[in-house]
């Protein structure tokens, strides 16, 4: 069976207004995909019934056409997700995002003001908080995203408390990964030592407890429990578990290169400027690369893109999660989008298979009307002939 | 063109459209010779799709030969990029003209910078040379074209051309100027008439801005170049003046009712005002891709032009064009005179009235006309039976 694309992550730009410690995306002058090319890409993606498109970056809000792209995807009934640092969101931008039909927005918060500003630059904590307030005010479904590293693991409960105060219903944790670092030697400062293992574990335990009492959705328990050993360097991927992300998602860089995943960044499948994404996705080369990636290249990561796979939530947790999600403003709309997309996809498949070619033509009444018109035209000419 | 032939052509376009089946070859064949351009026009999307390839001379010759074998009238228009940036441009023009094709060329004028080239163009056997002229002053034209000195180059080109034509005893192509109507030049629309008169232009064509071909269905009323609501009255005033001038002195060629521009810029143009006929126009890109509007449906490198028009993709593209309800007011896609059967018949009769031939000849023509109608009647009746 062919794999369906479920999530496409599009990096809209490499430019960013911040200089975060854990990210060194190089600012070489790439020719970014133009609005027209992105529209074509989104149209192409829409054909394969995805769950969502994630616009990321750099800072995607630096692109002028971001609202246009979101509303275009929205018109095609695709869920959109935006990953932003929040520094550019004022009341007006939040309003524009809401009116363009954005599904979910992720705002990065790394911990209390001091920690956040030390990682992301002075004054940015206040800006991010203001952004969260505006977004909640405009009823956009907002998620706080936190990169867990050796410097902020003590403040994870703080983030949950903050979310509760602001009225944000989801917090996503993701342990630090060195993929966006060029200087790979600098990565050690973000990991923790074996001595911290117990501290991290207790913090994570408290996070799970508190989030449940506040009804805030977080990553699955097993995933969170893996964070501590991962940061201390003693986590091992289960050898038999093939990453589901490889079969359901792909990422596209600012210049249009399609990557098998962010972690295996050097594996490029093709460029959307030369070839349609649907062709690249179904190509034999892609399948071959997936197999080699699973067998040889992939060392295992804890990217939150596939955290759902870590655990089938227990009934109680499922209930809490559902209750939370039901409360979210755009929940029903998004469910509708999903059902619509899937139905559209299945319908198209059936049509394509059963009728290879059917002219999208008029029905019989139209044909009869045309015949009538011809008759009338002939009458007029005949009348003229007699005169 | 005699009234009977016109009647036949109109009928063919009308029924092609209502049956979504190419019963006649397209009238406009735009060939984009290159995507290279030395200007940076604000409203042009070509710079975003800059691709290296150009259609080689042999493929072009093959296309010309095919077109010259068609029995219906058609016009070949060379566009770009800037067509004069191709080194073999005169070989191409000569080949096309020597095969008896009605050939036109659109340029920004930058390469027509001496008398020698102007003379060469005048004697090459083309029917029309169009130079884009977007403002009556260098500030406006240079601003729109994105290059300093663009105004001087364009006006010089027109001067050289008209002078060369005078030397050639007024034989040679019609020299025309094309004006793209947009916010930036809306105040100068009327002044351009006097400028072009002074430059020796023989035909002045106005056409409203579109953003890019791909974008057309989405950017109406939200593009950068759209007239603001406060400017609409001014536009109306300009149209009055231009229409008045046209009535007395000619020069301006209206491709459609100019008062439609007002509705167009208000975003209020509807299907009643303007309809698209997908069979009138095709565009061949520098990579050989053939399209009418939207995605390409064939490639002249792989198959003949006639085969391209019969592909499944072509049918789909045309069906989508018929559904499009954002009229773009570009003449190439429309053929207002063949939209309604009754109009076609009435036109035919009124043209017969103007004929000076005897009644027996007219009778013969009408009988032939009825014969055409009967042919289509049979065709449609057969189709109805098949269902």
The owner of tokens 């927005």 is A105
Q: Which of A168, A153, A272 is nearest to A211 (CA)?
A: A168
Which residues of chain A make contact with B371, given a CB cutoff of 8 A?
A: none
Which residues of chain B make contact with A36, given a CB cutoff of 8 A?
A: 45, 48-49, 212, 214-215
Report the chain A residue with the minimal C-alpha distance to residue B386.
A364
Residue B328 CA: distances (Å) to CA of A40, A144, B217, B219, B349: 19, 44, 8, 10, 31
d(CA A362, CA B323): 12
- At A365, the pLDDT band (50, 70, 90 cuts) reads low
ipTM of the complex model: 0.74
- At B117, the pLDDT band (50, 70, 90 cuts) reads very high
Name the minimum distance, in Å, from the CA of B118 to any CA of chain A. 36
Residue B269 CA: distances (Å) to CA of A181, B221, B255, B261: 53, 11, 16, 9
Report the chain B residue with the minimal C-alpha distance to residue A357.
B312
Contact (Cβ atoms closer than 8 angstroms) between residue A254 and residue A248? no
Q: Which residues contact B218 (CB under 8 A, 6 or more apart)?
A: A39, A72, B326
With H, G, I as helix, E, B as strand and everything else as coil, classify residue B102.
strand
DSSP, residue by residue, B187-250:
GGTTHHHHHHHHHT-SEEEEEE--S-TTTHHHHTTTSTTPPPGGGHHHHHHHHHHHHHHHHHH-
Q: What is the pLDDT of residues A288-334, one digit of tens each?
A: 888 777 777 676 677 776 666 666 656 666 666 666 666 666 677 77
Q: Which of A36-50, B19-33, B55-69, B362-376 has the lowest mean pLDDT?
A: A36-50
pLDDT confidence of residue A360: 46
pLDDT confidence of residue A297: 67
The CA-based angle B342-B348-B353, given to 5 degrees, is 125
Strands A7-11 and A52-56: what pairing? parallel
Name the minimum distance, in Å, from the CA of A351 to any CA of chain B. 14
**Strand spans (E) along chain B:** 28-32, 75-79, 102-107, 128-132, 174-181, 203-208, 252-253, 281-284, 289-291, 298-299
Is A366 close to B18, i.e. CB distance below 8 A? yes
Tell me whether the omega of the peptide bond preceding residue A58 falls within 30 degrees of 0, making it cis. Answer: yes
Which one of A271, A356, A363, A373 makes the best mutation probe of the B interface by having the most chain B beta carbons within 10 Å?
A373
Q: Which residues contact B170 (CB under 8 A, 6 or more apart)?
A: none
d(CA A104, CA A101): 9
Q: What is the pLDDT of residues A264-297, one digit of tens each?
A: 777 788 888 878 888 888 888 788 888 777 777 6
Q: What is the pLDDT of residues A22-60, one digit of tens each?
A: 777 766 677 888 887 888 888 888 877 788 899 987 889
d(CA B158, CA B175): 8
* CA distance from start to end of chain B: 38
User: Number of Cβ pairs closer than 8 Å across A and B?
Assistant: 83
Contact (Cβ atoms closer than 8 angstroms) between residue B268 and residue B251? no
The pTM (predicted TM-score) of the whole model is 0.56
Q: What is the pLDDT of residues B251-269, one digit of tens each?
A: 888 888 888 888 888 877 7
Report the chain A residue with the minimal C-alpha distance to residue B215.
A36
Q: Which of A218, A222, A149, A225 is nearest to A180 (CA)?
A: A149
Is B49 close to A36, i.e. CB distance below 8 A? yes
Tokens standing for A290?
A: 């997936």
The owner of tokens 């009234």 is B3
Q: What is the pLDDT of residues B311-362, one digit of tens each?
A: 888 888 888 888 776 777 876 777 777 888 888 888 888 888 887 777 788 8
d(CA A236, CA A299): 9
Helices (H) and strands (E) in chain B, counts: 14, 10
Is B18 close to A39, i.e. CB distance below 8 A? no
Report the chain B residue with the minimal C-alpha distance to residue A71.
B218
DSSP, residue by residue, A240-295:
T---THHHHEEEE-TT-EEES-SSSTT-EEEETTTS-HHHHHH-HHHHHHHHHIII
């Amino acid at each position: 069976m062919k794999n369906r694309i479920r999530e496409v992550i599009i990096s809209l730009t490499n430019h960013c207004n911040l200089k975060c410690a854990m990210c060194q995306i190089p600012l070489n002058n790439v020719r970014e995909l133009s609005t027209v090319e992105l529209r074509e890409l989104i149209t192409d993606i829409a054909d394969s019934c995805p769950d969502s498109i994630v616009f990321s970056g750099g800072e995607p809000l630096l692109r002028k056409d971001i609202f246009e792209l979101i509303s275009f995807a929205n018109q095609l009934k695709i869920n959109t997700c935006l990953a932003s640092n929040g520094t550019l969101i004022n009341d007006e931008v939040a309003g524009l995002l809401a009116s363009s039909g954005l599904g979910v927005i992720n705002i990065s918060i790394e911990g209390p003001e001091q920690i956040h500003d030390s990682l992301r630059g002075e004054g940015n904590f206040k800006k991010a908080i203001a952004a969260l307030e505006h977004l909640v005010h405009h009823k956009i479904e907002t998620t706080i995203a936190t990169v867990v590293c050796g410097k902020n693991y003590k403040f994870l409960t703080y983030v949950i408390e903050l979310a509760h105060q602001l009225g944000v219903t989801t917090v996503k944790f993701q342990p630090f990964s060195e993929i966006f670092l060029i200087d790979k030697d600098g990565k050690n400062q973000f990991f923790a030592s074996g001595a911290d293992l117990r501290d991290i574990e207790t913090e994570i335990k408290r996070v799970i407890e508190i989030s449940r009492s506040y009804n805030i959705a977080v990553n699955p328990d097993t995933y969170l429990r893996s964070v501590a050993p991962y940061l201390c360097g003693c986590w091992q991927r289960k050898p038999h578990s093939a990453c589901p992300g490889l079969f359901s998602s792909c990422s596209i860089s600012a210049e249009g290169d399609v990557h098998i995943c962010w972690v295996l960044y050097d594996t490029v499948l093709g460029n959307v400027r030369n070839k349609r994404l649907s062709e690249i996705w179904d190509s034999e080369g892609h399948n071959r690369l997936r197999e080699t990636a699973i067998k040889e290249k992939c060392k295992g990561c804890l990217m939150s893109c596939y955290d759902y796979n870590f655990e089938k939530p227990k009934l109680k947790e499922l209930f809490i999660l559902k209750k939370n999600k039901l409360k979210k403003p755009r929940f029903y709309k998004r469910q509708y989008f999903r059902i619509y997309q899937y139905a559209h996809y299945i319908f198209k498949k059936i049509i394509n298979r059963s009728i290879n070619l059917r002219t999208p033509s008029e029905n019989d009444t139209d044909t009869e009307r045309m015949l009538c018109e011809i008759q009338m035209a002939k009458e007029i000419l005949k009348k003229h002939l007699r005169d | 063109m005699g009234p009977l032939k016109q009647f036949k052509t109109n009928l063919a376009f009308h029924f092609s459209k209502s049956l979504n089946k190419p019963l006649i070859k397209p009238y406009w064949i735009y060939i984009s010779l290159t995507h290279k351009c030395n200007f940076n026009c604000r409203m042009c999307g070509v710079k975003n799709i800059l691709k290296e390839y150009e259609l080689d001379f042999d493929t072009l010759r093959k296309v010309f030969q095919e077109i010259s074998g068609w029995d219906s009238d058609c016009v070949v228009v060379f566009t770009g990029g800037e067509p004069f940036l191709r080194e073999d441009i005169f070989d191409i023009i000569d080949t096309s003209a020597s095969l008896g094709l009605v050939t036109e060329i659109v340029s920004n004028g930058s390469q027509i910078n001496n008398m020698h080239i102007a003379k060469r163009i005048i004697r090459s056997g083309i029917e029309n040379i169009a130079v884009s002229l977007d403002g009556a002053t260098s500030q406006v034209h240079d601003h729109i074209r994105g290059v300093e000195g663009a105004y001087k180059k364009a006006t010089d080109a027109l001067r050289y051309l008209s002078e060369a034509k005078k030397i050639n005893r007024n034989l040679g192509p019609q020299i025309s100027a094309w004006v793209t109507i947009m916010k930036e030049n809306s105040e100068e629309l009327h002044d351009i008439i006097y400028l072009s008169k002074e430059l020796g232009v023989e035909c002045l064509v106005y056409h409203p801005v579109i953003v890019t071909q791909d974008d057309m269905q989405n950017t109406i009323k939200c593009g950068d170049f759209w007239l603001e609501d406060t400017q609409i009255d001014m536009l109306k005033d300009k149209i009055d003046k231009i229409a008045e001038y046209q009535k007395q002195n000619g020069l301006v060629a209206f491709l459609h009712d100019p008062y439609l521009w007002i509705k167009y810029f208000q975003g209020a143009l509807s299907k009643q005002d303007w309809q698209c006929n997908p069979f009138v126009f095709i565009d061949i890109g520098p990579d050989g891709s053939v399209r009418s509007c939207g995605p390409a449906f064939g490639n002249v490198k792989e198959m003949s032009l006639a085969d391209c028009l019969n592909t499944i993709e072509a049918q789909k593209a045309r069906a989508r064009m018929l559904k499009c309800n954002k009229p773009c007011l570009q003449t190439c896609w429309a053929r207002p005179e063949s939209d309604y059967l009754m109009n076609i018949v009435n036109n035919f009769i009124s043209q017969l009235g103007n004929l000076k031939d005897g009644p027996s000849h007219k009778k013969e023509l009408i009988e032939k006309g009825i014969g055409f109608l009967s042919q289509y009647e049979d065709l449609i009746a057969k189709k109805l039976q098949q269902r």
